[in-house]
Amino acid sequence: MASKVFKRLWSIVALEGLILLAVVVYLRREGLPDGLPLSIQWLPWAALGAGALVSWRFRRSRLLFGVIVLVLADRGLARWGWAATEPTTVFHAIALLLPVNLFGLTLLTERGAVTRAGLARFGVIGVQVGLVLLLAASKLEWLATPMRLSVLPEGWFGWTPVAQPALAVFLATAGFMGTRLVACPNATGRGFLWASAAAFLALNASGGAPPASVYLSTGSLILIVSVIEASYFMAYRDALTGLPARRALNEELLRLNGQYTIAMVDVDHFKKFNDEYGHEVGDQVLRMVAAELERVGGGGTPYRYGGEEFALLFPGKFAEEVVPHLERVRESIESATFTLRGGGRPKRRPENPKPRRNAKRKRVSVTVSIGAAGRSDRRSAPSEVASFADRALYRAKKTGRNRVKVAGGGP
């Protein structure tokens, strides 16, 4: 239970949250010098260049639009954000537009930057730039009143220069992004959530434009990191099950020294599930098996090897030591209840499910065969250990399935 809670929390915080925390701690402890270093003055433009490059390289247009929004906000605040020490109408307009734009980008799909959809997004940003310029020229002063509207007592919000309408928008968009992130963890959503947090800190930064520029540039950095992290996930994580993929296993094997054991796990009669019930049911089976493999003991780590095959890696263990753990996970998969979804059954379980009378529910049995092999003098290379584990898996299949076999003897 504790590990699940930690994983959920980490899915929200992760590297992006730690980056922002480090910047907050630094600015609170060290602050910025009176004479702003040239490196910090160029920080927004460096973020824009890096964002454009990473966006082009990884084909992530939302990153480009997100960085553009943050850089434009930075320039607008630096030029028109504060009159003496008071926030201006431009400040309040940017405070409203920033969370809306960042939240909106989380809802969009990747459609490219120079496509029709991309050009339309550039147009939407251009309209907002025009609005801010008109406010800066005092052409739309009538908008100042609704942007500074106070519904609740102003004494409650003396800690922030952000007006109540913008505060409400920040709170609503952050709550929605956070809820989606808990339900479906992903690096892109996490990046936009923490970029929004960085934008809020920029608007509340004491000292005006210089620290605000640092926070907004940090928001751009967070978006860049989230794209790189998402690309890493695609390369090293299996999208269907969420387990580390075969590439991650191969690299982990190269780092191992000393004794280890590899166990190959194969879903029995998996082709039957796909042929008889369809690929959607087959995907459900793979996710269920992956979830059970994640509970394996003995320090084992599960990997999606390919197709219906998984691998378990046990560093520092002999094959005979891991057999009890393999048997337990095999039995847990066999005893797990797997109910096929009916035609009218919702994809997600409702909060208050109503009993369905005369509902036909079909339960199917899922079993796995497992073959294990440990590193030894005659099989020291990872490829050789994996090959022996495959042979043991073949013996498990040949002798009746739903069993564990160990290379070179054993059960």
List active site positions: 308
Q: What angle do CA 128, 71, 93 make, to 5 degrees?
A: 40
Query: Burial, 252: exposed, middle or buried (Cβ in 10 Å; 0-12, 13-18, 19+)?
Result: middle
| Closest by Cα among 143, 35, 142 to 93 | 143
Instruction: Say if CB 55 and CB 65 are below 8 A apart.
Output: no
Instruction: Say if CB 373 and CB 389 are below 8 A apart.
Output: yes
Which residue type, as a one-letter code, is found at position 237?
R
| Closest by Cα among 411, 201, 221 to 321 | 411
The set of residues, in sequence order, having a beta carbon less than 8 Å from that of 148 and lying 6+ positions away, is 92, 163, 165
**DSSP assignment of 217-242, as one string?**
HHHHHHHHHHHHHHHHHHHHB-TTT-
Within 214-337, strands assigned E span 260-267, 301-306, 309-315
Distances (CA, A) of 204 to 96, 198, 199, 226, 238: 14, 10, 9, 24, 40
CA–CA distance, 274 with 255 (Å, rounded to integer): 36
Collapsed DSSP state (helix, strand, coil) of residue 9:
helix
Helix (H) or strand (E) holding 363: strand 363-364
Distances (CA, A) of 23 to 82, 208, 213, 269, 277: 23, 16, 12, 53, 52
> How many H helices and E strands in the chain?
16, 9
| Dihedrals phi, psi of 240, to nearest 5 degrees | -75, -50
Instruction: Say if CB 216 and CB 202 are below 8 A apart.
Output: yes
